[in-house]
Structure 1
Amino acid sequence: MTTPPTVDVHAHVLLPEIETLVDGLPGLADAKALDARRNGPAALKANGPMIGERIPRLTDPSARLAAMDAQGVDVQLVSPSPSHYHYWADEETAEKVYRLANEATAAHCAAAPDRLRGLGLVPLQHPETAVRALEHALEQGLSGVEISSHTPGRELSDPAYEPLWTRAEETGAILFLHPFGCTLDERLDQWYLSNTVGQPTENAVALSHLIFSGVLDRHPGLKIVAAHGGGYLPTHIGRSDHAWTARSDAGAGCAHLPSSYLKRLYFDSLVHDPYVLRELVRVAGADRVLLGSDFPFDMGTDDPVGALRAARLPDADFHAVRGGNAAALLRLRKD
């Protein structure tokens, strides 16, 4: 057997041209104000220098590749920084954003096509254009798109997204579920709770909407990759199973126990705890967990393979998570 490449499915690219595009447009100021309220002043103060020192790795393919070499990562699946979602934008602006994001991400990855694969964006706030945005991403040679956990006024269970799920299933496109912003708002505006509590909460809520609404029943072939190990849901799925069994309202929308759907999803390994990672592998299956680092942000890991090794998985499971699963998902070939 050949050894699979080491594949990191959670890595970001910063696209300054998108921020130039939306600068000064109506709606941006309100979106920034909401982000500021949700994160709080201390987090915003820390974010500036943190991002500033990472600009080369976020924008320069050569700096990215050097960092990958240092980490022992062969391939990255690169997605735009979630700060580029701009779900406040009107339909005309949203189309410009997704086109620019898709084309710029593809251009970044084209610098090393054997080592960089990319994801684009779709405007979830305009479901009627989401299929067109997905197809545009695929036309650029990208592997799929990145989506957030919700958009203002709509959850991922909204029937308006059925055409997107249908087309993603038909094309085999990857949908990378990565939250940006938590609707708990100012309750999390200290101590970076907006991220440490907010992100895993949003993951759990979004996945629960997809499961309990029957989206995964109607679209069993969807390739959804949940960032941050799926948040709180995989380690607390027993409560969902109990509700589905005990209550008619909880069990009305999906055909099977909620825990069974974890084996239809993919999860990155970024949980920051080897015991939690072992539990994620247990409940989802070793074939459903993929290496993830959140490159190059401070809430990620600079040693994703080391973090995986700390979970002390059986060798076959270790190599599947390290790269075998992602290589199959991305249809990579190692010569």
Structure 2
Amino acid sequence: MTSPTVDVHAHVLLPEVEALVAGLPGLAEARALDARRNGPESLAVSGPMVRERIPRLTDVTVRLAAMDAQGVDVQVVSPSPSHYHYWADEDTAREVCRLANEATAAHCARAPERLRGLGLVPLQHPGLMPEALDHALAQGLLGVEISSHAPGRELSDPAYEPFWARAEETGAILFLHPFGCTLDERLDRWYLSNTVGQPTENAVALSHLIFSGVLDRHPGLKLIAAHGGGYLPTHIGRSDHAWSARPDAGSGCAHLPSSYLKRLYFDSLVHDPHVLRELVRAAGADRVLLGSDFPFDMGTEDPVAALRAARLPEADFHAVRGGNAAALLRKD
């Protein structure tokens, strides 16, 4: 029997979360930073783009019709990263995650055979993250979505150790999806904030996880990196060289950096069939999962055709199309 086609990178918009934070101190400053990072030309395009896609982001019937048109059987739905709100204080952050988890679960419950969900945890408050993860799992979600960093904290921060331990213990899926690049105004034209910023943030975050030894201490983590892991998988040779040549680079992790690619998962959203082939070579055909970034304009309207364009061996094609995801989501 052929495995279902599973898209692990799809989003939902949650008005409940935005209503909660509306008018709170910190929101205006966060939006101003986002505006500086993206630049006025990109904001002028992004606003209408998102508004046009609100039905696909909120209406399950519209979502299912779009999935049918794409030939996608199952979506793993995560909140729009605009809902992270990592500026929020502890009480607000706890409520943001509670609402996001419950609203995402309710959205997916409208079509439980076809929609599986991921929730949120407050990356800016490491002490609250295990509790928020447990809440997400209690709603029937598969795990949670996180960004590449929180203000003042990288993913290598020891404060995250209890969260990694809890995620490993529960078998929760972690979806690493950056939001905002700290190169700031250097990327504020031509949508470089996304085209360069997102793959840069992916590469930095994954490097922190690898070089700090997080993946040595928690080998059972189930972490999916969006956007094919950014620049790291195709440039991992430079990391391997540094690990071998320099004691400061090699002191934190036990093995060659490239070996850790086979402990991670990556979505297929790289927008280039040659890069996708290299990702499969570097990480292994069993570590790449179909991803579309549904329904945003930086995604792909036809993820299966984008995968087919890589001309993988047939067994690898079907593994990426859905077999790998089916095995990963069957965590019980």
Sequence identity (%): 86
Summarize deviations over 1:115-142 as a string: whole Å, max 9, x none: 0000000001000000000000000000
Matched residue, 2:225 = 226
TM-score in terms of structure 2 length: 0.99
Q: Is the partner of 1:79 in helix, strand or coil? A: strand
**Residues 221-300 of structure 1: pairs in structure 2 closer than 5 A:** 221-300=220-299
**Residues 135-150 of structure 1: pairs in structure 2 closer than 5 A:** 135-150=134-149
Shift of 1:152: 0.3
Counterpart-to-counterpart distance in 1, 2:173 and 2:203: 19
- In structure 2, the CA distance between the partners of 1:7 and 1:332, relative to structure 1 (3 Å rule), is farther
**Residues 1-335 of structure 1: pairs in structure 2 closer than 5 A:** 2-331=1-330
Counterpart-to-counterpart distance in 1, 2:330 and 2:52: 33
- Give unmatched runs, 5+ long, in structure 2: none
* Structure 2 residue identity aligned to 1:6: T
TM-score in terms of structure 1 length: 0.99
Question: Is contact 2:109-2:115 (8 Å) kept?
Answer: yes
Question: Is contact 2:155-2:209 (8 Å) kept?
Answer: yes
Summarize deviations over 1:259-310 as a string: whole Å, max 9, x none: 0000000000000000000000000000000000000000000000000000
* Structure 1 residue identity aligned to 2:108: C
Counterpart-to-counterpart distance in 2, 1:198 and 1:231: 9
Summarize deviations over 1:189-243 as a string: whole Å, max 9, x none: 0000000000000000000000000000000000000000000000000000000
Q: Is the partner of 1:64 in helix, strand or coil? A: helix
Counterpart-to-counterpart distance in 1, 2:198 and 2:113: 31
Query: Alignment RMSD, CA only?
Result: 0.8
Q: Is the partner of 1:113 in helix, strand or coil? A: coil
Runs of 4+ aligned residues of structure 1 deviating over 3 Å after TM superposition are: none
* Structure 2 residue identity aligned to 1:5: P
Paired residues in the alignment total 332
Counterpart-to-counterpart distance in 2, 1:147 and 1:325: 21
Shift of 1:331: 1.2
* Structure 1 residue identity aligned to 2:215: L
- In structure 2, the CA distance between the partners of 1:169 and 1:332, relative to structure 1 (3 Å rule), is closer
* Structure 2 residue identity aligned to 1:124: L
